[in-house]
């Protein structure tokens, strides 16, 4: 550990579920264990990320092993990377570039409660995508209209959106979600409360790909939201990160 590199606050992490994968101590270990692509490793170091935070160390292996996850970790602990890195690794390559048959249409969906938050997630995604031709779209009125053309939208890899925007596109019949293999609800406490729950359920119902991987991330998860989350997830692992001595 570098002397001049202030350590991230230490966290206590508890994971519950069956066959919980071991946490990783470094990003390098993800390459050894899961063949994480070198360009992703180098983009991480480009971002200045030297080592995984608690939620990254525990959460990334779980998602890399295609498990469903409920992750609860305080604000500022790097939850965004915890799901974006596995998604990009599991998708492998942009659909325009992959040799494997990856079907047609968007393959990963991140849903967040506000446009501002979706915007931040999109930015993090662009940093990780450096050097590859990923099409990660921040879904808005403007992008939704450019995606009205099916041949354009079939080339999109990842959509980041608020629930309302997705629901309107689904209603207008200008979006298919049947090829979505990974869906993340960020700030899940808000996504699963009364304001958004019905929209979220409509979205999930349209993700008909078999064994779609689902994950929820939040700083807090009240019992009621947690109950709903657990009913949506398949054999989930629940990871809780708490600040030490708080
Ligand atoms: P959260 O969603 O948990 O509130 P974010 O994903 O927004 O946290 O990340 C908070 C900040 O930490 C961001 O500026 C992000 O770039 C940075 N960050 C994420 N992972 C790491 C890491 N492994 N090392 C250093 N900084 C990181
Ligand atoms: Mg966040």
78 lines ligand 1 (CB under 6 A): yes
49 lines ligand 1 (CB under 6 A): yes
Residue 9: its pLDDT value, please?
Answer: 62
pLDDT in tens, 26-37: 999 999 999 999
Residue 6: its pLDDT value, please?
Answer: 55
pLDDT at 127 over 90: yes
pLDDT at 2 over 50: no
pLDDT at 55 over 90: yes
Neighbours of ion ligand 2 (CB under 5 A): 79
pLDDT at 164 over 90: yes
Element spanning 218, H or E: strand 213-218
Residue 7: its pLDDT value, please?
Answer: 56
**Rounded average pLDDT over 58-69:** 98
Distance in Å, CA 76 to ligand 1 centroid? 6
Candidate of 80, 82, 120, 124 to mutate for ligand 1, largest count of ligand atoms within 8 Å of Cβ? 80
**Rounded average pLDDT over 56-76:** 98
Nearest to 108 by CA among 124, 94, 98, 123: 94
For atom 12 of ligand 1, the residue with the nearest CA is 78
Reported pTM: 0.95
9 lines ligand 1 (CB under 6 A): no
**Angle, CA of 55, 236 and 92, to the nearest 5°:** 65
Residue 244: its pLDDT value, please?
Answer: 60
- How many other C-beta atoms lie within 10 A of the C-beta of residue 61? 23
Residue 3: its pLDDT value, please?
Answer: 47
Distance in Å, CA 82 to ligand 1 centroid? 9
Could you tell me the two tokens for 142?
Answer: 């403007």
70 phi/psi in degrees, rounded to 5: -115, 115
Residue 1: its pLDDT value, please?
Answer: 45
For atom 19 of ligand 1, the residue with the nearest CA is 78
79 lines ligand 1 (CB under 6 A): yes
Closest atom of ligand 1 to CA, residue 55: 3
For atom 26 of ligand 1, the residue with the nearest CA is 49
**Rounded average pLDDT over 222-246:** 89
pLDDT at 246 over 60: no
pLDDT in tens, 169-227: 999 999 999 999 999 999 999 999 999 999 999 999 999 999 999 999 999 999 999 99
Is the ipTM, as predicted for this complex, more than 0.95? yes
**Rounded average pLDDT over 97-118:** 93
For atom 23 of ligand 1, the residue with the nearest CA is 52
Q: How confident is the model at residue 117 (pLDDT cuts 50, 70, 90)?
A: very high
Rounded to the nearest integer, the mean pLDDT of the chain is 93
pLDDT in tens, 72-98: 999 999 999 999 999 999 999 999 888
Question: Sheet of 11-16: strands edge to edge?
Answer: 11-16, 237-243, 69-72, 213-218, 182-185, 108-111, 158-161, 136-138
């Amino acid at each position: 550990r570098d002397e001049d590199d202030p350590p991230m606050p230490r966290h206590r992490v508890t994971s519950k579920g069956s066959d919980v994968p071991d946490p990783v101590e470094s990003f390098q270990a993800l390459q050894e264990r899961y063949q994480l692509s070198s360009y992703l490793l180098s983009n991480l170091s480009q971002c200045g990320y030297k080592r995984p935070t608690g939620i990254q160390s525990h959460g990334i292996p779980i998602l890399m092993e295609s498990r469903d996850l409920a992750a609860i970790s305080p604000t500022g602990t790097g939850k965004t990377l915890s799901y974006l890195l596995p998604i990009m690794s599991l998708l492998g390559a942009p659909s325009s570039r992959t040799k494997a048959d990856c079907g047609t249409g968007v393959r990963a969906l991140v849903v967040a409660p506000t446009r501002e938050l979706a915007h931040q997630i999109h930015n993090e995604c662009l940093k990780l995508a450096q050097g590859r031709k990923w099409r990660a779209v921040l879904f808005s009125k403007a992008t939704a209209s450019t995606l009205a053309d099916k041949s354009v939208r079939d080339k999109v890899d990842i959509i980041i959106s608020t629930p309302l925007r997705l629901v309107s596109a689904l209603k207008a019949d200008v979006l298919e979600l049947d090829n979505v293999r990974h869906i993340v609800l960020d700030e899940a406490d808000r996504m699963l409360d009364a304001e958004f729950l019905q929209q979220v359920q409509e979205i999930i119902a349209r993700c008909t790909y078999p064994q779609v991987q689902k994950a929820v991330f939040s700083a807090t998860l009240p019992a009621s939201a947690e109950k709903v989350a657990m009913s949506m997830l398949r054999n989930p692992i629940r990871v809780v990160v708490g600040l030490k001595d708080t």
